[in-house]
Amino acid sequence: MRNFEKPTRSVAVSAKAMAATSHPYATLTAINILQAGGNAMDAAIAACAVQCVVEPGSTGVGGDCFALYAPKGGAEVIAYNGSGRTPKALTIDWFEERGLTEVPRQSPSAVTIPGAIDAWTRLHADHGRLPLAEVLAPAIRYAEEGYAISPRVHRDWKKEEELLAADKAAAEIFLPGGRAPRIGETHRQPKLAATLRKIATEGRDGFYKGSVAEDMVAHLNAHGGLHTLEDFAAAKGEYVTPVTTDFRGYTVHECPPNGQGIIALLILNILSCFDNKLEPHSADRLHLEIEATRLAYAARDAWIADPAKANVPIDELLSADFARRLAEKIDLTRALTELPDFEMPLHRDTVYISIVDEERNAVSFINSIFDSFGTGLVAPNSGVILHNRGQSFSLKRGHPNMIAPEKRPLHTIIPGMVTRDGRTEMSFGVMGGYYQAMGHAHLISKVVDYDMDMQDAIDLPRLIPVGGKVPRVEAEHTVSAETVAELTRRGFEIVPAEDPIGGAQVVRIDWENGTLTGASESRKDGVALGY
């Protein structure tokens, strides 16, 4: 039960349907779509399209998408991988010839072919109910007529003024008057509205062929990119089989590699090796979560890659023996100091959407352009922000995640789903880039191990390890001074978080009462709503 003297908010409760997103416009759009006769998939795509307009730093049509779908609240979970591949002409040699040891952010070499629109159109065709034009209409309206800037959107936008100023098209669209729009100001994106209208009428071909594709390719080529129209025309995601683990009687479902969802399962498997009676935010419990994450992320950076191009040891990573061997390395008296440094960029931007409809269809949906405003490159005629997902590749020869032609990178964005006793229990996800795997485990553990109110679990202070050899940990200021002192005594270097860490949305089905509960991230602008 929530403490009503604590400054937070209650979970949303409804009888029929529920939507939880990180922006009020998106949540309201999802509810409107559901009440107009759409289903959970229609609502998720509609909400995501709106967020591509109103949260342009966090997501966009020029990004990637993953989704989990549980039809009618059953135990069957369908997964879709909407991550894009590198251009056919891009090889490791291109980087070595230029003396590069990592993929530069503001470079076309960081732009894999965007997979989001392929995912939206395929998922809509297979599982949606309303016409695509009706689903995308709210996003088109906001882009064309304007939307008011919310506080968190403004904060994140303002931090990227220098990045946006470096690209003429980006500056024209996203720095009106030479600056980021302020809270309460209205911003419009008519070029993006036209692009969304093409997608609404032409489907995936409206993005991957014709004038929009030509605009993206021309802009990338002008900056030295190797992308071709053929690369865009060939873009295609795929249905995949989820990976799962059992945690305290619940089955947790994640998309398989090239995503890092399997690492969230590994962290849960490590936590399963320990007593779940520790106080949820004690130094011991946080020590355990930090070390489980550091060990799991070392495994991620070593092995997670595109399974079509590399051998990913999925069964080994999910085995109880592997989790136990890692758990045995954890010493609650001192921090581990012999782990490799993380190789992934420490980015923090994404949007996540959770929807359950009247038929109990559940959708867990995530869409991202990686860093805030991606590469900072914007296709000038279509208004498409080009993501920088290619930064997740390794440039080490022989590494499973080494960049190569037509290859997908290790992906941080991960939707989650929980089932129990043959039924869907929760649709959940965590925003925040590299934090997401830890965030999934942290959230599920708090709800399952401690029977916490979902909003309370989301509101808990967060921390995230950012170092291997040096056990450095970013902590929000809400972590108690006593806990920080104790973790420091054990050898962790605790530093203030650069930004609020992550974000989460959850919708849970109460089968006994026939109702739904939802929670949304208090560090963002969004809400959970139902009817």
Q: What length is written for the chain? A: 531
Is residue 191 within 8 Å of 382, Cβ to Cβ? yes
Q: Which domains does the chain have, with CATH numbers?
A: 24-496 (3.60.20.40)
Helices 320-327 and 261-271 meet at what angle, rounded to 10?
A: 60
Q: What is the pLDDT of residues 168-190, one digit of tens each?
A: 999 999 999 999 999 999 999 99
Residue 234 has pLDDT above 70, yes or no: yes
Is residue 52 within 8 Å of 61, Cβ to Cβ? yes
Euclidean distance between CA atoms 296 and 293, whole angstroms: 5
Residue 5's pLDDT is: 81
Cα-Cα end-to-end distance for the chain: 22
Instruction: Name the catalytic one among 86, 350, 419, 483.
Output: 350
Q: What is the mean pLDDT of residues 510-530?
A: 97
Look up tokens 């009462």; give the residue.
513
pLDDT averaged over every residue in the chain? 96
Rg (CA), the chain: 22
Q: What token pair was written down for 164?
A: 């946006």
Euclidean distance between CA atoms 476 and 494, whole angstroms: 10
Residue 348's pLDDT is: 60
For CA atoms 486, 491, 495, 499, the dihedral sign is: negative
User: 507: which strand partners?
Assistant: 427, 518
Is residue 315 within 8 Å of 243, Cβ to Cβ? no
Q: What is the pLDDT of residues 106-156, one digit of tens each?
A: 999 999 999 999 999 999 999 999 999 999 999 999 999 999 999 999 999
Q: What token pair was written down for 506?
A: 């959850």
Collapsed DSSP state (helix, strand, coil) of residue 234: coil
Is residue 458 within 8 Å of 496, Cβ to Cβ? no
Residue 432's pLDDT is: 85
Supply the DSSP string of 117-135, one letter for each residue.
HHHHHHHHHHH--S-HHHH
Q: Which of 116, 408, 464 is nearest to 256 (CA)?
A: 408
Q: What is the mean pLDDT of residues 16-45?
A: 98
C-alpha dihedral, 292 to 297 to 298 to 301, nearest 10°: 170
* Residue 350 bears catalytic tag: yes
Euclidean distance between CA atoms 110 and 106, whole angstroms: 7
Q: List Cα–Cα distances, 165 to 157, 158, 169, 173, in angstroms.
A: 12, 11, 9, 10
Residue 343's pLDDT is: 67
Residue 349 has pLDDT above 80, yes or no: no
Q: What is the mean pLDDT of residues 200-211?
A: 98
Q: List Cα–Cα distances, 101 to 179, 297, 376, 391, in angstroms.
A: 33, 21, 21, 11
User: 416: which strand partners?
Assistant: 254, 428
Q: What token pair was written down for 267?
A: 């962290």
